[in-house]
Amino acid sequence: NLESIKSPQGYEARTPPYAKLLKNLSQVKRVLNNQPLTYAEKILYSHLVNPDELASNIKDIRGVQYLKLNPDRVAMQDASAQMALLQFITCGMASTAVPASIHCDHLIVGKNGAEEDLASSIATNKEVFEFLKSCGEKFGIQFWGPGSGIIHQIVLENFSVPGLMMLGTDSHTPNAGGLGAIAIGVGGADAVDALTGTPWELKAPKILGVKLTGKMSGWTSPKDVITHLTGKLTVRGGTGYIVEYFGEGVQTLSCTGMATICNMGAEIGATTSTFPMQEAHYQYLAATNRGPIGELAKSVNDNFGFLKADEGAQYDEVIEIDLNTLEPSVNGPFTPDLSTKISELKDTTKKNNWPEQISAGLIGSCTNSSYQDMTRAVSIMQQAEAAGLKPKIPFFVTPGSEQIRATMERDGLIEVFEKNDAIVLANACGPCIGQWDRGANAPKDDNVIFTSFNRNFKARNDGNRKTMNFLTSPDIVTAMIYSGEMNFNPLKDSIDIGDGKSFKFNPPHGEDLPSSGFIRGREEFYPELEPKPKPEVEISVSPESDRLELLEPFKPWNGKELETTVILKVEGKCTTDHISAAGVWLKYKGHLSNISNNTLIGAVNKETGEVNTVYDLDGAKFSIPDLMMKWKDESRPWIVVAEHNYGEGSAREHAALQPRFLGGQIILTKSFARIHETNLKKQGMLPLTFANEADYDKLSTGDVLSTLNLKDMVEKNGDNGGIIKMQVTKKNGETFVIDCKHTMSLDQVAFFKAGSAINFIGESKK
Ligand code: SF4
């Protein structure tokens, strides 16, 4: 009886609308004639705006059909929230259509320790934090201020629930899948869809099943599941898939361990990752003061089988991982899919000529700051301390939230860290996102760091492109700081402690959850749970500000074919960090004109091998953003040509907004990362891929590329066979035609015509 399913009192905004979802799912089942569904599909399809629009066979849905969905919730981090909210403001609504939260975490620098760093970061970013806070008050969005914690940890502790579907303006939003949610990282314009109650569109992902067997022991931890999988699948291997974990090995994992695995699923390009409901979820919900939601989820699962895969559900592909034999691995440098087993690290280091000394160790972040992670790290530190060892290199700990920090403090974990020379940083992103001030002695040359973070593109941590970040479990990072050397394998090797004695670590041990429960810590970090909108609140953005700038709508399409000039031919990897760098640029996230000065400054010019260097038609040398601005002023629309997985990495919509702002019209690549391709479409750009990859070699900067059948594609609402023909005119006058593929849906064509998705939504809300 669906009528009897009611949100527990006081938990309404945090409980998925189970009755409505079940009703939707029964319609889905009817349309599909009861074909069995995976867990991910049950959650996703139960959020369909209209289940009757679903194709009647799974084969015609997965990887084929565009779904229109109603997410339950939105979370935004401070760097991306600025642009998301600036776009939301242009829609003129009084409040958000779904519960939402803002998290101040990315703008906080890590240097000397939590208290000092937090105070100086609040002072530096005052204007932005005040803007976000006033948006929160005006529109009824929860505001988690600086120091309260990292978006994904707070979501896990407060909002994630089996069956929930949420969007987050951050690529590691899938972290919430560790607690059974379908949580998808998106750009701000997608978030605005959900915030305005506009159906959010997603091409139905295929489903990759990862079967876990056995049980981990010793040094192996959940991080090793995902570093192993990333090594196996590469950074493109999950594109277009939801990763769903199943098998008896799942039952041996903690909820936070599952979150670590889902978190770093972003590194294989997956749409998201998730686990069906487990006993560990139920326990974690109870431990995080959401016992009644856990009870309801359990009863919904027991009575309707909602929160698990159907018997006989088929995955598009299955990968099996035996947890019994899984070995810790170390992934990097510069790409998360370069995976080396710890037992092979010594030889691989030698072979690649990597530096043998490690310069720093960092643990925590949204990926690995659970109670389990921290207690295991402390168990390693205590062994070293008992043997009289001190860390040989600087060591930093980033707690994911005030709740985890306060609980660590109560249970003596912080004391152990600090007694052993660790610096405990603020509950924020800090070194994970380039906000790491290494002080006057920061290495300038090649240097190795070990982190328990999730991402390791060049310059990601300290802004130094030569810093080689190796990603691994907090256990391995903590052990490595006592040797400071790449050739140390803590599972096997000993450390000399003098007097002819040596010391060898025992495997770490930890607790999944604190036996005395979590404590909240400082109350000032907790916002009102269900804030009401206050229309009287004024949001002011000073025209003199260099941090915030109100948005001017992009111009609608003029109805003509596009004629564009190749401004840059990019060589190799081009992530969102290359397209819109973080680090010092984070401060301009709310100011489109200023942040556009970093556009593609990390990109390598295929023709010259130079970084951030392009040449005008007369041969004059420019930085990439400067030439883009010059061509914009000259009304010369441009196109960028690039290679595979362009825009891989984060959900950073600035990587799409900036090219559009600077006069770009088309990005033509060998392939795109999913979020970035969508972001480009949302900003009114045309993302295309080569039908024949070899055509990449035929193009040069200065070539003029003109579409031949864009109007036809638009008239047919994207349904023109998926090809845009482009005439190429070389500088010597030679011409030829190439075929390019597009994936524009009906809605995306509407965005293109309107100039952007926001223009389109704004019009429809009037
Ligand atoms: Fe913050 Fe790093 Fe997590 Fe991103 S991956 S949310 S930057 S801690």
20: region left, alpha or beta (phi > 0 left; psi from -120 to 50 alpha) = alpha
Decide whether any atom of ligand 1 lies within 6 Å of the 155 Cβ: no
Separation of CA 364 and ligand 1 centre (Å) = 10
Q: Tell whether the model's pLDDT for residue 763 goes beyond 90.
A: no
Catalytic residue among 78, 105, 512, 703: 105
- Among 276, 295, 322, the domain boundary falls at 322
Closest ligand 1 atom to the C-alpha of 171?
4
For ligand 1, say whether the CB of 74 is within 6 Å of any of its atoms: no
Residue 43 and residue 458: Cα distance in Å, rounded? 36
Q: Examine residue 519 and state whether it is found in any structural domain, yes or no.
A: no
Which residues lie below 8 Å from residue 271, measured CB to CB, with a gap of 6+? 184, 202, 205, 238, 240, 241, 242, 674
Do residue 259 and residue 391 come from a single domain? no
106 classed as catalytic: yes
Residue with tokens 């089988």, as numbered in its chain: 305
- Is residue 552 one of the residues assigned to a domain? no
Do 72 and 98 sit in the same domain of this protein? yes
Please give the structure tokens belonging to residue 644: 């595979």
- For ligand 1, whether the C-beta of 338 sits within 6 Å is no
pLDDT digits (tens, 9 = 90+) for 292-339: 999 999 999 999 999 999 999 999 999 999 999 999 999 999 999 999
Does some domain include residue 484?
yes
Is residue 432 within 6 Å of ligand 1 at its C-beta?
yes
List 72, 78, 117, 170, catalytic entry? 170
Could you tell me which residues come within 8 angstroms of residue 443 by beta carbon, excluding any fewer than 6 positions away? 359, 464, 466, 467
Which one is catalytic: 160, 359, 365, 650?
650
Is residue 540, in this structure, part of any structural domain at all? no
Please give the pLDDT value at position 582: 84
What percentage of the chain has pLDDT greater than the value 70? 100
Chain-centroid distance of CA 589 in Å reads 16
- Based on the structure, what is the number of domains in the chain? 3
Q: Are residues 172 and 204 in the same domain?
A: yes
Whether 318 and 352 share a structural domain: no
Tell me, using a 6 A CB cutoff, whether residue 172 lines ligand 1.
Answer: yes
Cβ neighbour number for residue 766 with a 10 Å cutoff: 6
Distances (CA, A) of 433 to 317, 456, 462, 596: 33, 10, 8, 19
pLDDT of residue 15: 97
Q: Is 170 in the pocket of ligand 1 (CB under 6 A)?
A: yes
Q: Distance from the CA of 454 to the center of ligand 1, in angstroms?
A: 8
Give the closest residue (by CA) to ligand 1 atom 3. 366
Ligand 1 pocket mutation pick from 263, 433, 461 by most atoms within 8 angstroms of CB = 433
Q: Is 650 in the pocket of ligand 1 (CB under 6 A)?
A: no
Average pLDDT, stretch 434-444? 93
Is 624 near ligand 1, meaning CB less than 6 Å away? no
390 exposure class (CB count in 10 Å sphere: 0-12, 13-18, 19+): exposed
CB within 8 Å of 558: residues ≥ 6 apart = none
H/E element, 428? none
Residue 138 sits in the same domain as residue 157:
yes
687 is in which domain, residue-wise? 563-765
Instruction: Read off the tokens for 50.
Output: 């209209």
pLDDT of residue 166: 98
Tens-digit pLDDT profile for residues 180-230:
999 999 988 899 999 999 999 999 999 999 999 999 999 999 999 999 999
Compute the distance from residue 578 Cα to the ligand 1 centre, in Å: 17
For residue 79 and ligand 1, the question of a CB distance below 6 A is answered with no
CA-atom Rg of the chain in angstroms: 25
Both 274 and 351 in one domain: the answer is no
Q: What is the mean pLDDT of residues 118-125?
A: 96
Q: Compute, in angstroms, the gap from residue 456 CA to the centroid of ligand 1.
A: 11
Contact 369, 398 (CB under 8 A): yes
Burial class (CB within 10 angstroms; exposed 0-12, middle 13-18, buried 19+) of 37: buried
> Within a domain: residue 150?
yes
Q: Which residues contact 61 (CB under 8 A, 6 or more apart)?
A: 54, 55, 67, 204
Q: What is the CATH number of the domain that holds 582?
A: 3.20.19.10
Which residue is listed with tokens 């559009």?
Answer: 660
Structure-token pair, residue 333: 């440098």
10 Å Cβ neighbour count for 538? 7
- Could you tell me if 43 and 188 lie in one domain? yes
The pLDDT score that the predictor gives to residue 674 is: 82
Q: What is the mean pLDDT of residues 478-500?
A: 97
**Ligand 1 contact, 748 CB (< 6 A):** no
pLDDT at 473: 98
Q: Are residues 347 and 204 in the same domain?
A: no
Please give the distance, rounded to the nearest whole angstrom, from the Cα atom of residue 586 to the centre of ligand 1: 13
* 5-55 tens-digit pLDDT: 999 999 999 999 999 999 999 999 999 999 999 999 999 999 999 999 999
Mean per-residue pLDDT, 465-486: 97
CA separation for the pair 448, 333 (Å, rounded)? 8
Q: Best mutation site among 109, 150, 173, 575 for ligand 1, i.e. most ligand atoms within 8 A of its Cβ?
A: 150
Is 105 annotated as catalytic? yes
Looking at 322, 341, 362, the residue that finishes a domain is 322
Q: Would you call 170 a catalytic residue per the annotation?
A: yes
DSSP string, 359-389: EEEEEETTTB-SHHHHHHHHHHHHHHHHTT-
Q: Please work out whether the CB of residue 454 comes within 6 Å of at least one atom of ligand 1.
A: yes
Residue 166 CB contacts under 8 Å (≥ 6 apart), including other chains: 71, 72, 73, 74, 75, 155, 159, 160, 173, 176, 181, 182, 183, 184
Q: Cα(239)–Cα(672) distance, rounded to whole angstroms?
A: 9
Based on the domain organization, do 417 and 355 belong to the same domain?
Answer: yes
652 noted as active-site residue: yes
Ligand 1 centroid from CA 189, angstroms: 20
pLDDT at 104: 98
Q: What is the CATH number of the domain that holds 403?
A: 3.30.499.10
Residues in the chain: 766
Tokens for 432?
């994970």
Q: Which tokens belong to 520? A: 């909240």
Ligand 1 centre distance from Cα of residue 381 (Å): 25
Residues 342 and 311 both lie in one domain: no
The Cα 129–Cα 145 span in angstroms is 8
Q: Would the CB of 461 count as within 6 Å of ligand 1?
A: no
Q: Is 695 a catalytic residue?
A: no
The whole-number pLDDT of residue 425 equals: 98
- pLDDT, one tens digit per residue, over 621-668 is 999 999 999 999 999 999 999 999 999 987 788 999 999 999 999 999
Helix 78-90 vs helix 188-196: crossing angle, to nearest 10 = 50
Q: Where are the beta strands (DSSP E) in 351-491?
A: 358-364, 395-398, 423-424, 447-451, 467-471
Q: Is 150 in the pocket of ligand 1 (CB under 6 A)?
A: yes
Which residue in 405, 652, 674, 676 is the catalytic one?
652
Predicted local confidence at residue 490, as pLDDT: 98
Q: Which of 223, 260, 263, 365 to mutate to test the pocket of ligand 1 (most atoms within 8 A of CB)?
A: 365
* Whether residue 569 has pLDDT greater than 80: yes
User: How far does the centroid of ligand 1 lie from the alpha carbon of residue 340, in Å?
Assistant: 23
Q: Which of 456, 481, 503 is the last residue of a domain?
A: 503
Distance CA 88, CA 97 (A): 11
* DSSP state letter for 641: E
Q: Reply yes or no on whether the pLDDT at 594 is more than 80.
A: yes
Residues 24, 48: contact at Cβ < 8 Å?
yes
CA–centroid distance, residue 699 to ligand 1 (Å): 37
Q: Among 169, 432, 451, 652, which is best to mutate for testing ligand 1, by the most ligand atoms less than 8 A from CB?
A: 432
Which residue's C-alpha comes closest to atom 1 of ligand 1?
Answer: 429
Question: How many angstroms is it from 462 CA to the middle of ligand 1?
Answer: 14
What span, in angstroms and rounded, lies between the C-alpha atoms of 642 and 341? 32
At position 99, the amino acid (one-letter code) is P
Residue 445 has pLDDT above 80, yes or no: yes
| Residue 611 DSSP one-character state | B
Element (H, E) at 15: none
Pocket flag, ligand 1, residue 365 (CB < 6 Å) = yes
Does the annotation mark 499 as catalytic?
A: no
| Residue 550 within any structural domain of the chain | no
Distance 433 CA to ligand 1 centre (A): 6
Asked if residue 314 and residue 341 are part of one domain, the reply reads no
* Test site for ligand 1: of 76, 105, 363, 373, most ligand atoms within 8 A of the Cβ: 105
| 459 and 580 belong to one structural domain | no
pLDDT in tens, 342-369: 999 999 999 999 999 999 999 999 999 9
Asked whether residue 195 is domain-assigned, the answer is yes
Q: What is the pLDDT of residue 496?
A: 94
Asked, for residue 508, whether it belongs to a domain, the answer is no
Summarize the confidence of residues 244-255 as an average pLDDT. 98
pLDDT-based confidence at 564, cuts 50/70/90?
Answer: very high
